[in-house]
Amino acid sequence: MLADTPGQKDRVFLILTGVWLFTALALFGNPVILDYLHPPKSVILPRESPSNVLPYLGILVVLGLACVLGFSRLPKPKLRLPAGVPKWLAWLPAAWLGWQLLSFLQTENQAMSQATVIHFASCLAVFYLGLFVLGRMRQAKLALWGAALGLILNLEDARIEKFGGLEQTRNNIIEQIESGKLDLPTLPAKARDEGKTIPPEIEKQIATLPPGTAAKVRQLPIELVKRMYSTRLYGYMFYPNALAGVILLLLPVSLTLLLGQGRWRLPRAVLALGLGALGLACLYWSGSKAGWLIALALLGAWFLHLPVSSKLKLGLASTAMVLGLAGFAVKYADYFDRGATSVGARFGYWRAAAQTAMEEPLLGTGPGTFQIAYKRHREAMKKKEDARGASGSKRHGAEPTRLAHNDYLQQASDSGWPGFALYAAFFGGAAWVLARRRLDDPLLIAVRLGLLAWVLQGFVEFGLYIPALAWPAWLMLGWLLASPTNQFDKSAATE
């Protein structure tokens, strides 16, 4: 039969978990609240795309089957905490989800909050799957191969985008406009912002089109026009910074899996070299400024694990940081000369989140509802500027957003300061526990580096709300907390 022995049953569970991770990275790269879950590749023209709700519910069913199978494999007591994991840390996520449910009861938008709470519950299930199940299995790394294959799929798609795919997508949209298949009045009105103009470098490219087509392109929402002419890669993710997050989270793990012990060492080393080069190239082509800086932090942290003298470690880490920062300054000099608009926009989002938390300190506005709170904040700012008679160049120009671009502050805005405190305490506590551990296994070190990147990116992005990012991160966090710090302490496979 397929699974007659305990070891075979373990492998069935691990393969099922790996397939689930691969599917998540292939199909669920959008935030859970985005237009009721449109497929990742449809975010450019959301009105013409089918809903992704049914596939999302399907992948949750697969997760449920993995949980049932995984927890059924545990000996009694099934919820025995692994050694070295404090009880308070293990149950903080459950308290955080409980507070989200309380906030949901008074939400300002039930549909948004329902999708968000379901997603948060799935993250919790994934975390406990890693904590109680993967940590007790010898071959737990088999599940991570699914995440590695999902990363490879995204990198290959990004490579295609770089070498003609983005141009082909743009040409397809223009063809739809010319043929009349794309009805301009039906496009989302929310994307049409008053007072915004097409950037000069994009206007030059539009001017090369036939006059009639160019006039129609100028009628498109500004954000759609920017995306059409962007050279940044995003793979199967929602946008380029999310692709950078996937690379930072999973590239160290994927390279370590390829370079691990086993047969065909030379071919695996060649594949690892190619994957590393492609991953770093796609990270660069994604244009993620935060991704670049986080990659430098990971490189410095990796140097500190090398079996060399402390002085040499610090020297290598310092050199890497100096060279990386110099390259960053050269690469993005023009961006900062133009005023670093995305940085300014994020400060606007964060101010709005903090202000909302001050106004609704106990339960916030409801899970996933930052978009509503921020819209009120923008309208209030506009009224103040109108009252002062501010000129167009001095107006509050931050663009609309659905998420706060800061997972921690969004907890405060959506579920009040208690929600923020529980979430921050969990990840801060996990970081404190893991930082004190001495890890010798290269795979565990790689997982810790990837999680460090995910936690850092959470200060400037919204990876918590993207299943393709959140699910692997929560699973790896649970597994890493449960894994013995010494490879000789590994218990036997689940019997």
pLDDT 10s digits, 397-422: 456 788 999 999 999 999 999 999 99
Whether residue 323 lies inside any domain: the answer is no
Whether residue 246 lies inside any domain: the answer is yes
Q: For 272-313, how does the pLDDT look when each residue is reduced to its tens digit (9 = 90+)?
A: 999 999 999 999 999 898 889 999 888 888 877 777 777 777
Given a cut of 70, whether residue 99 has pLDDT beyond it is: yes
**pLDDT given for residue 186 in this prediction:** 57
Given a cut of 60, whether residue 196 has pLDDT beyond it is: yes
For the chain, what is the domain count?
1
**Range 319-338 average pLDDT:** 74
Q: Are 34 and 22 in contact (CB under 8 A)?
A: no
Given a cut of 80, whether residue 394 has pLDDT beyond it is: no
Whether residue 459 lies inside any domain: the answer is yes
Residue of higher predicted confidence among 302 and 429: 429
Residue 467: is the preceding peptide bond cis (ω within 30°)?
A: no
Neighbouring C-alpha atoms within 13 Å toward the C-beta of 329:
6
- State the pTM of this model: 0.88
Q: Which range marks the domain in which residue 87 is found?
A: 6-161+232-305+400-487
Whether residue 345 lies inside any domain: the answer is no
Return the number of other C-beta atoms located less than 10 Å from residue 45's C-beta.
16
Of residues 342, 340, 349, the one with CA closest to residue 401: 349
Whether residue 377 lies inside any domain: the answer is no
**Range 259-263 average pLDDT:** 78
Which range, 187-196, 219-228, 260-269, 347-356, has the best average confidence (pLDDT)? Answer: 347-356
Whether residue 392 lies inside any domain: the answer is no
Of residues 409, 404, 452, 446, the one with CA closest to residue 427: 452
**pLDDT given for residue 200 in this prediction:** 82
Of residues 192, 194, 190, the one with CA closest to residue 392: 194
d(CA 35, CA 169): 21
d(CA 85, CA 77): 16
Structure tokens at 440: 């010798």
Structure tokens at 359: 């106004």
Q: How confident is the model at residue 213 (pLDDT cuts 50, 70, 90)?
A: confident
Return the number of other C-beta atoms located less than 10 Å from residue 284's C-beta.
16
Q: How many residues does the chain have?
A: 495
d(CA 467, CA 153): 16
d(CA 34, CA 466): 10
**Range 96-125 average pLDDT:** 94
Given a cut of 80, whether residue 246 has pLDDT beyond it is: yes
Whether residue 320 lies inside any domain: the answer is no
Structure tokens at 433: 């526990």
Whether residue 203 lies inside any domain: the answer is no
Q: For 120-178, how does the pLDDT look when each residue is reduced to its tens digit (9 = 90+)?
A: 999 999 999 999 998 888 888 889 999 999 999 999 999 998 988 888 888 888 887 77
